[in-house]
Chains A and B, each alone.
Chain A
Amino acid sequence: MVQKLDYLRETPSQTAGPYVHIGLSPRDAGFDIYDNQLGEDIAGPDAKGERITIQGRVLDGTGAPVRDVLIETWQANADGIYPGRGAVEDGFRGWGRVVPDAEGVFTIKTVKPGAAPGRHDTVMAPHLNLWLVARGINVGLNTRMYFADEEALNADDAVLNLIEQAHRRDSLLAQPDGDVYRFDIHLQGERETVFLDI
Chain B
Amino acid sequence: MTGELYQRDRTWHPPALTPDYKTSVARSPRLPLLSLQNSDSELTGPTFGHGDIAAGDADLLSNYAQTGDPIGERIIVHGRVLDENARPVPNTLVEVWQANAGGRYRHVKDTYFAPVDPNFGGCGRTITDAEGRYAFRTVKPGAYPWRNWTNSWRPAHIHVSVFGTAFAQRLITQMYFEGDPLIPKCPIVATLKDPAAVTQLTAALDLNATIPLDTIAYKFDIVLRGHRATWFENRPEGN
Contacts and interface: CB of A to CB of B under 8 A. Distances in A.
Interface string A158-169: 110111000000
B80 to A, nearest CB: 11
Interface string B226-239: 10000000011111
Interface string A1-26: 00000111111111111111111101
Interface residues of B, number: 89
A117 B6 CA distance: 21
B168 interface: yes
Nearest to A7: B84
B39 A124 contact: yes
A187 B174 CA distance: 23
Interface in A144-195: 144, 158-159, 161-163, 187-189, 192-195
B167 A74 contact: yes
A137 B42 CA distance: 20
Interface residues of A, number: 80
Nearest to B237: A120
Contacts of B36: 159, 162, 196-198
Contact of B40 (A14, A117, A192): A117
A117 B96 CA distance: 35
B144 to A, nearest CB: 10
Given A38-B48, A85-B40, A188-B30, A139 B14 contact: yes
Nearest to A61: B26
Question: Is chain A's binding surface mostly helix, strand, loop or mixed?
Answer: loop
B68 interface: no
A117 to B, nearest CB: 7
B183 to A, nearest CB: 12
A116 interface: yes
A197 B10 contact: yes
A95 B45 contact: yes
A161 B191 CA distance: 33
Interface in A115-149: 116-120, 122, 124, 127, 129, 131, 133-142, 144
A187 B26 contact: yes
Given A24-B97, A85-B40, A138 B14 contact: yes
A10 B85 contact: no
A119 B123 contact: no
A138 B238 contact: no
Contact of B34 (A62, A127, A196): A196
A46 interface: no
Interface string B209-237: 00000000000001111100000000111
A188 B161 contact: no
Given A116-B41, A129-B167, A136-B23, A9 B9 contact: yes
A192 to B, nearest CB: 5
A124 B40 CA distance: 10
Nearest to B238: A158
A104 interface: no
A50 interface: no
Contacts of A93: 46
Interface in A44-74: 60-62, 64, 66, 68, 72, 74
B152 interface: no
A176 B39 CA distance: 26
Interface of B: 6, 8-10, 12-16, 18, 21-31, 33-42, 44-48, 52-54, 57, 63-64, 82-86, 93, 95-97, 105-110, 121-123, 125, 159, 161-162, 167-168, 170-174, 188-189, 191-192, 196-197, 200-201, 222-226, 235-239
Q: List the 8 closest A-B pairs by CB distance, nearest first.
A: A23-B97, A136-B23, A95-B46, A136-B27, A138-B14, A30-B108, A61-B26, A197-B33
